[in-house]
Structure 1
Amino acid sequence: MENYKTVAESQTTLTELMIPSYANFGGKIHGGIIMGLMDKVAYVCAAKHAGAYCVTASVDAIDFLAPVEVGELISLMASVNYVSNTSLVVGIRVISENVKTKEVKHTNTSYFTMVAMDEHRSTVQVPGLILKSDEEIRRFFQAFHKKELKKYLRMEEKRMKNEFEIAESIEIIKNERCIIEMEPSAPAPLKTIPGAAEKS
Protein backbone atom coordinates (compact mmCIF):
# COMPACT_ATOMS: atom_id res chain seq x y z
CA MET A 1 0.00 0.00 0.00
CA GLU A 2 1.57 3.26 -1.16
CA ASN A 3 2.67 5.71 1.53
CA TYR A 4 1.46 3.47 4.35
CA LYS A 5 3.70 1.41 6.62
CA THR A 6 3.07 -1.29 9.20
CA VAL A 7 3.92 -0.82 12.87
CA ALA A 8 6.48 -3.63 12.62
CA GLU A 9 8.50 -1.81 9.95
CA SER A 10 9.72 0.83 12.40
CA GLN A 11 9.64 -0.99 15.76
CA THR A 12 12.92 -0.42 17.56
CA THR A 13 14.52 -1.87 20.69
CA LEU A 14 17.49 -0.24 22.40
CA THR A 15 19.32 -2.18 25.14
CA GLU A 16 22.00 -0.64 27.32
CA LEU A 17 24.00 -1.62 30.39
CA MET A 18 23.56 0.69 33.37
CA ILE A 19 27.05 1.70 34.50
CA PRO A 20 28.15 3.42 37.76
CA SER A 21 28.54 6.84 36.13
CA TYR A 22 24.77 6.80 35.41
CA ALA A 23 23.90 6.61 39.12
CA ASN A 24 22.43 9.44 41.22
CA PHE A 25 23.29 10.31 44.83
CA GLY A 26 21.01 7.51 46.04
CA GLY A 27 22.89 4.88 44.06
CA LYS A 28 20.06 4.31 41.58
CA ILE A 29 20.17 5.11 37.88
CA HIS A 30 19.42 8.78 37.30
CA GLY A 31 16.01 9.37 35.72
CA GLY A 32 17.57 11.82 33.27
CA ILE A 33 19.70 9.04 31.81
CA ILE A 34 16.64 6.92 31.10
CA MET A 35 14.75 9.90 29.68
CA GLY A 36 17.66 10.62 27.32
CA LEU A 37 17.63 7.02 26.09
CA MET A 38 13.86 7.21 25.61
CA ASP A 39 14.28 10.31 23.46
CA LYS A 40 16.93 8.52 21.40
CA VAL A 41 14.84 5.41 20.74
CA ALA A 42 11.77 7.57 19.98
CA TYR A 43 13.79 9.42 17.35
CA VAL A 44 15.03 6.21 15.72
CA CYS A 45 11.55 4.70 15.61
CA ALA A 46 9.95 7.89 14.27
CA ALA A 47 12.66 8.49 11.66
CA LYS A 48 12.36 4.91 10.39
CA HIS A 49 8.61 5.36 9.89
CA ALA A 50 8.78 8.90 8.50
CA GLY A 51 11.87 8.39 6.37
CA ALA A 52 12.88 11.88 7.52
CA TYR A 53 14.52 13.79 10.34
CA CYS A 54 12.22 14.02 13.37
CA VAL A 55 12.14 16.33 16.38
CA THR A 56 10.49 15.82 19.75
CA ALA A 57 7.38 18.01 20.06
CA SER A 58 6.05 16.82 23.42
CA VAL A 59 6.32 14.03 25.95
CA ASP A 60 3.53 12.56 28.04
CA ALA A 61 4.19 12.22 31.77
CA ILE A 62 6.99 9.78 32.59
CA ASP A 63 6.08 7.88 35.75
CA PHE A 64 8.93 5.81 37.17
CA LEU A 65 7.34 2.63 38.51
CA ALA A 66 10.50 0.93 39.80
CA PRO A 67 14.13 2.01 40.34
CA VAL A 68 16.87 0.80 38.03
CA GLU A 69 20.07 -0.49 39.61
CA VAL A 70 23.67 -0.20 38.47
CA GLY A 71 24.62 -3.34 36.53
CA GLU A 72 21.13 -3.98 35.18
CA LEU A 73 20.28 -4.02 31.50
CA ILE A 74 17.46 -1.79 30.37
CA SER A 75 15.57 -2.38 27.14
CA LEU A 76 13.51 0.39 25.57
CA MET A 77 10.92 -0.90 23.10
CA ALA A 78 9.45 1.72 20.76
CA SER A 79 6.52 1.48 18.36
CA VAL A 80 4.58 4.00 16.31
CA ASN A 81 1.13 4.09 17.91
CA TYR A 82 -0.50 6.91 15.93
CA VAL A 83 0.14 9.16 12.95
CA SER A 84 -1.37 12.50 12.02
CA ASN A 85 -0.35 14.58 9.02
CA THR A 86 3.19 15.61 9.95
CA SER A 87 3.44 14.16 13.46
CA LEU A 88 3.41 10.72 15.00
CA VAL A 89 3.17 9.27 18.50
CA VAL A 90 5.79 6.77 19.59
CA GLY A 91 4.96 4.56 22.55
CA ILE A 92 7.94 3.41 24.62
CA ARG A 93 7.97 0.63 27.20
CA VAL A 94 11.06 0.33 29.39
CA ILE A 95 12.04 -2.83 31.24
CA SER A 96 15.09 -3.58 33.37
CA GLU A 97 16.72 -6.98 33.79
CA ASN A 98 19.08 -8.20 36.50
CA VAL A 99 21.44 -10.48 34.60
CA LYS A 100 22.32 -12.46 37.74
CA THR A 101 18.86 -13.08 39.22
CA LYS A 102 16.99 -12.85 35.88
CA GLU A 103 14.45 -10.54 37.56
CA VAL A 104 12.63 -8.39 35.01
CA LYS A 105 10.82 -5.16 35.98
CA HIS A 106 8.61 -2.79 34.01
CA THR A 107 10.11 0.55 34.99
CA ASN A 108 8.07 3.01 32.93
CA THR A 109 6.01 3.72 29.83
CA SER A 110 5.69 7.01 27.99
CA TYR A 111 4.54 8.50 24.71
CA PHE A 112 6.63 10.88 22.59
CA THR A 113 5.05 13.07 19.92
CA MET A 114 7.53 13.56 17.09
CA VAL A 115 7.33 15.88 14.08
CA ALA A 116 8.92 15.06 10.71
CA MET A 117 10.99 17.74 8.99
CA ASP A 118 12.94 18.14 5.76
CA GLU A 119 16.43 19.59 5.27
CA HIS A 120 14.96 23.11 5.27
CA ARG A 121 13.32 22.53 8.68
CA SER A 122 9.85 22.54 7.13
CA THR A 123 7.36 19.91 8.28
CA VAL A 124 6.68 17.01 5.93
CA GLN A 125 3.86 14.49 5.71
CA VAL A 126 4.49 11.11 7.32
CA PRO A 127 3.27 7.78 5.94
CA GLY A 128 -0.04 6.44 7.22
CA LEU A 129 -0.18 3.42 9.52
CA ILE A 130 -1.37 -0.08 8.68
CA LEU A 131 -3.02 -1.61 11.76
CA LYS A 132 -2.84 -5.40 11.87
CA SER A 133 -4.07 -6.41 15.34
CA ASP A 134 -6.53 -5.53 18.08
CA GLU A 135 -3.61 -4.17 20.14
CA GLU A 136 -2.45 -1.86 17.36
CA ILE A 137 -6.01 -0.57 16.86
CA ARG A 138 -6.34 0.00 20.63
CA ARG A 139 -3.08 1.94 20.76
CA PHE A 140 -4.03 4.07 17.75
CA PHE A 141 -7.44 4.88 19.24
CA GLN A 142 -5.95 5.59 22.67
CA ALA A 143 -3.43 8.06 21.16
CA PHE A 144 -6.21 9.72 19.13
CA HIS A 145 -8.35 10.02 22.28
CA LYS A 146 -5.44 11.56 24.22
CA LYS A 147 -4.95 14.11 21.44
CA GLU A 148 -8.61 15.14 21.71
CA LEU A 149 -8.31 15.38 25.51
CA LYS A 150 -5.27 17.65 25.13
CA LYS A 151 -7.28 19.97 22.88
CA TYR A 152 -10.02 20.13 25.50
CA LEU A 153 -7.52 20.79 28.31
CA ARG A 154 -5.89 23.61 26.34
CA MET A 155 -9.29 25.23 25.84
CA GLU A 156 -10.08 24.82 29.54
CA GLU A 157 -6.78 26.38 30.57
CA LYS A 158 -7.44 29.33 28.28
CA ARG A 159 -10.98 29.70 29.67
CA MET A 160 -9.73 29.55 33.27
CA LYS A 161 -7.14 32.21 32.56
CA ASN A 162 -9.72 34.53 31.00
CA GLU A 163 -12.42 33.88 33.60
CA PHE A 164 -10.24 33.65 36.71
CA GLU A 165 -12.06 34.56 39.94
CA ILE A 166 -9.74 35.04 42.92
CA ALA A 167 -12.37 34.54 45.65
CA GLU A 168 -13.74 31.36 44.09
CA SER A 169 -10.23 29.99 43.56
CA ILE A 170 -9.21 30.66 47.17
CA GLU A 171 -12.32 28.83 48.38
CA ILE A 172 -11.47 25.78 46.25
CA ILE A 173 -7.82 25.51 47.34
CA LYS A 174 -8.27 26.47 51.00
CA ASN A 175 -7.80 22.86 52.21
CA GLU A 176 -4.70 22.26 50.11
CA ARG A 177 -1.16 22.55 51.49
CA CYS A 178 -0.70 26.25 50.92
CA ILE A 179 -0.80 29.44 52.97
CA ILE A 180 -2.07 32.56 51.26
CA GLU A 181 -0.32 35.72 52.46
CA MET A 182 -1.46 38.43 50.12
CA GLU A 183 -0.44 41.99 50.76
CA PRO A 184 -3.25 44.56 50.60
CA SER A 185 -3.60 46.03 47.15
CA ALA A 186 -2.26 49.56 46.83
CA PRO A 187 -4.93 52.13 45.94
CA ALA A 188 -5.03 52.99 42.30
CA PRO A 189 -3.23 56.29 41.54
CA LEU A 190 -5.47 59.27 40.85
CA LYS A 191 -5.70 60.12 37.20
CA THR A 192 -4.77 63.65 36.30
CA ILE A 193 -6.26 65.42 33.36
CA PRO A 194 -3.68 67.37 31.30
CA GLY A 195 -4.28 71.10 31.67
CA ALA A 196 -6.58 70.75 34.70
CA ALA A 197 -4.13 72.57 36.99
CA GLU A 198 -3.95 75.57 34.73
CA LYS A 199 -7.75 75.92 34.65
CA SER A 200 -8.23 75.89 38.46
Structure 2
Amino acid sequence: MIKVGLILGITGACRTDELVNLPVDDIEDVGSSLIVKIPNTKTKIPRIFVVTDVGNMLELFRKYLSHVKHKRLFLYYKAGKCSSQPVGKNTMGKIPSVVASYLKLPDVACYTGHCLRRSSATLLADAGVDITTIKRHAGWKSTTVAEGYVENSIENKTKIANQVLVGTTTSAITKTVNRKQAELGLCIRRLDWV
Protein backbone atom coordinates (compact mmCIF):
# COMPACT_ATOMS: atom_id res chain seq x y z
CA MET A 1 0.00 0.00 0.00
CA ILE A 2 2.81 2.39 0.89
CA LYS A 3 4.69 1.79 -2.37
CA VAL A 4 1.57 2.17 -4.52
CA GLY A 5 0.57 5.31 -2.60
CA LEU A 6 4.04 6.77 -3.13
CA ILE A 7 4.04 5.95 -6.84
CA LEU A 8 0.58 7.38 -7.52
CA GLY A 9 1.09 10.34 -5.18
CA ILE A 10 4.29 11.55 -6.82
CA THR A 11 3.42 10.58 -10.39
CA GLY A 12 0.09 12.41 -10.19
CA ALA A 13 1.01 15.23 -7.77
CA CYS A 14 -1.87 13.95 -5.65
CA ARG A 15 -3.27 15.42 -2.47
CA THR A 16 -3.83 13.02 0.43
CA ASP A 17 -7.62 13.32 0.03
CA GLU A 18 -7.40 12.46 -3.66
CA LEU A 19 -5.51 9.25 -2.86
CA VAL A 20 -7.77 8.28 0.05
CA ASN A 21 -10.89 8.61 -2.08
CA LEU A 22 -9.43 7.09 -5.26
CA PRO A 23 -11.76 4.32 -6.44
CA VAL A 24 -10.45 1.30 -8.31
CA ASP A 25 -12.81 2.17 -11.19
CA ASP A 26 -10.90 5.44 -11.87
CA ILE A 27 -7.75 3.51 -12.81
CA GLU A 28 -7.54 1.93 -16.23
CA ASP A 29 -4.81 -0.61 -16.94
CA VAL A 30 -4.03 -0.38 -20.66
CA GLY A 31 -1.17 -2.89 -20.62
CA SER A 32 1.88 -0.65 -20.97
CA SER A 33 0.61 1.99 -18.53
CA LEU A 34 -2.09 3.02 -16.10
CA ILE A 35 -4.45 5.91 -16.81
CA VAL A 36 -5.55 7.46 -13.53
CA LYS A 37 -8.49 9.85 -13.29
CA ILE A 38 -8.86 12.26 -10.38
CA PRO A 39 -12.36 13.68 -10.94
CA ASN A 40 -12.87 15.35 -7.55
CA THR A 41 -10.12 17.82 -6.71
CA LYS A 42 -9.83 20.73 -4.30
CA THR A 43 -9.75 23.19 -7.23
CA LYS A 44 -12.68 21.48 -9.01
CA ILE A 45 -10.40 20.82 -12.00
CA PRO A 46 -10.46 17.09 -12.85
CA ARG A 47 -7.05 15.66 -13.70
CA ILE A 48 -5.76 12.63 -15.54
CA PHE A 49 -2.23 11.27 -15.27
CA VAL A 50 -0.39 8.24 -16.55
CA VAL A 51 1.88 5.80 -14.74
CA THR A 52 4.33 4.04 -17.06
CA ASP A 53 6.26 0.86 -16.34
CA VAL A 54 9.47 2.38 -15.05
CA GLY A 55 11.15 0.08 -12.54
CA ASN A 56 8.35 -2.50 -12.69
CA MET A 57 5.82 -0.10 -11.16
CA LEU A 58 2.97 -1.70 -13.07
CA GLU A 59 3.83 -5.16 -11.77
CA LEU A 60 3.83 -3.80 -8.22
CA PHE A 61 0.49 -2.07 -8.82
CA ARG A 62 -1.10 -5.18 -10.34
CA LYS A 63 0.10 -7.33 -7.44
CA TYR A 64 -1.40 -4.87 -4.95
CA LEU A 65 -4.65 -4.60 -6.91
CA SER A 66 -5.10 -8.38 -6.89
CA HIS A 67 -5.69 -8.15 -3.10
CA VAL A 68 -8.16 -5.24 -3.25
CA LYS A 69 -11.77 -6.35 -2.91
CA HIS A 70 -13.23 -2.93 -2.22
CA LYS A 71 -14.46 0.11 -4.15
CA ARG A 72 -11.61 2.26 -2.79
CA LEU A 73 -8.07 1.48 -3.92
CA PHE A 74 -6.18 1.96 -0.67
CA LEU A 75 -6.91 -0.55 2.06
CA TYR A 76 -5.37 -0.93 5.50
CA TYR A 77 -2.58 -3.49 5.88
CA LYS A 78 -1.68 -5.08 9.19
CA ALA A 79 0.94 -7.76 9.75
CA GLY A 80 1.42 -8.01 5.98
CA LYS A 81 -2.21 -8.83 5.29
CA CYS A 82 -4.78 -6.74 3.45
CA SER A 83 -8.01 -5.97 5.27
CA SER A 84 -11.29 -4.70 3.89
CA GLN A 85 -10.99 -1.43 5.81
CA PRO A 86 -10.17 1.61 3.63
CA VAL A 87 -7.14 3.71 4.57
CA GLY A 88 -7.89 7.07 6.15
CA LYS A 89 -6.38 10.48 5.53
CA ASN A 90 -3.95 10.27 8.47
CA THR A 91 -2.53 6.91 7.40
CA MET A 92 -2.16 8.14 3.81
CA GLY A 93 -0.52 11.35 5.01
CA LYS A 94 2.13 9.35 6.89
CA ILE A 95 3.43 7.59 3.78
CA PRO A 96 6.25 10.12 3.14
CA SER A 97 7.42 9.93 6.77
CA VAL A 98 7.41 6.12 6.65
CA VAL A 99 9.54 6.25 3.48
CA ALA A 100 11.85 8.90 4.99
CA SER A 101 12.29 6.74 8.09
CA TYR A 102 13.09 3.70 5.93
CA LEU A 103 15.69 5.77 4.03
CA LYS A 104 17.09 7.05 7.35
CA LEU A 105 16.56 10.68 6.39
CA PRO A 106 16.79 13.37 9.08
CA ASP A 107 13.69 15.14 10.44
CA VAL A 108 11.27 12.35 9.51
CA ALA A 109 8.35 14.29 11.01
CA CYS A 110 8.81 16.99 8.34
CA TYR A 111 7.76 14.54 5.62
CA THR A 112 4.00 14.94 5.39
CA GLY A 113 1.42 13.90 2.81
CA HIS A 114 1.94 17.22 1.07
CA CYS A 115 5.50 16.13 0.17
CA LEU A 116 4.01 14.04 -2.64
CA ARG A 117 2.82 17.15 -4.52
CA ARG A 118 5.99 19.08 -3.74
CA SER A 119 8.20 16.19 -4.90
CA SER A 120 6.23 15.86 -8.12
CA ALA A 121 6.60 19.57 -8.92
CA THR A 122 10.31 19.59 -8.06
CA LEU A 123 11.06 16.50 -10.14
CA LEU A 124 9.31 18.06 -13.13
CA ALA A 125 11.18 21.36 -12.69
CA ASP A 126 14.49 19.49 -12.40
CA ALA A 127 13.68 17.73 -15.67
CA GLY A 128 13.36 21.14 -17.36
CA VAL A 129 9.57 21.20 -17.64
CA ASP A 130 8.03 24.67 -17.99
CA ILE A 131 5.78 26.15 -15.31
CA THR A 132 2.65 25.88 -17.50
CA THR A 133 3.07 22.11 -17.74
CA ILE A 134 3.68 21.84 -13.99
CA LYS A 135 0.51 23.86 -13.32
CA ARG A 136 -1.53 21.71 -15.68
CA HIS A 137 -0.15 18.49 -14.21
CA ALA A 138 -0.98 19.36 -10.60
CA GLY A 139 -4.13 21.36 -11.30
CA TRP A 140 -2.87 24.73 -10.07
CA LYS A 141 -4.38 27.90 -11.51
CA SER A 142 -1.74 30.27 -10.15
CA THR A 143 1.84 30.41 -11.36
CA THR A 144 2.90 31.79 -7.98
CA VAL A 145 1.40 28.80 -6.16
CA ALA A 146 3.02 26.34 -8.57
CA GLU A 147 6.42 28.01 -8.21
CA GLY A 148 6.06 27.79 -4.43
CA TYR A 149 5.96 24.01 -4.68
CA VAL A 150 9.24 23.71 -6.56
CA GLU A 151 12.14 23.14 -4.19
CA ASN A 152 15.62 24.49 -4.85
CA SER A 153 17.32 21.16 -5.47
CA ILE A 154 20.95 20.43 -6.29
CA GLU A 155 19.91 19.14 -9.74
CA ASN A 156 18.22 22.43 -10.56
CA LYS A 157 21.17 24.46 -9.23
CA THR A 158 23.54 22.28 -11.29
CA LYS A 159 21.61 22.99 -14.50
CA ILE A 160 21.69 26.72 -13.79
CA ALA A 161 25.43 26.62 -13.04
CA ASN A 162 26.07 24.76 -16.31
CA GLN A 163 24.06 27.32 -18.26
CA VAL A 164 25.89 30.23 -16.62
CA LEU A 165 29.41 28.80 -16.73
CA VAL A 166 29.44 26.65 -19.85
CA GLY A 167 26.43 27.62 -21.92
CA THR A 168 23.97 25.24 -23.48
CA THR A 169 26.36 23.46 -25.86
CA THR A 170 26.76 19.70 -25.71
CA SER A 171 30.55 19.69 -25.96
CA ALA A 172 32.73 17.15 -24.19
CA ILE A 173 33.54 19.82 -21.58
CA THR A 174 29.84 20.27 -20.76
CA LYS A 175 29.32 16.51 -20.46
CA THR A 176 32.30 16.23 -18.10
CA VAL A 177 31.09 19.15 -15.99
CA ASN A 178 27.58 17.67 -15.85
CA ARG A 179 28.90 14.28 -14.76
CA LYS A 180 31.21 15.76 -12.11
CA GLN A 181 28.50 18.03 -10.73
CA ALA A 182 26.00 15.17 -10.67
CA GLU A 183 28.51 13.10 -8.69
CA LEU A 184 28.98 16.03 -6.31
CA GLY A 185 25.20 16.30 -5.90
CA LEU A 186 25.01 12.61 -4.97
CA CYS A 187 27.85 13.01 -2.47
CA ILE A 188 26.20 16.02 -0.88
CA ARG A 189 22.91 14.17 -0.49
CA ARG A 190 24.63 11.16 1.02
CA LEU A 191 26.20 13.43 3.62
CA ASP A 192 22.74 14.85 4.42
CA TRP A 193 23.86 18.41 3.72
CA VAL A 194 20.75 19.11 1.67
**Alignment TM-score, normalising by the size of structure 2:** 0.30
1 or 2, which has the higher helix percentage?
2
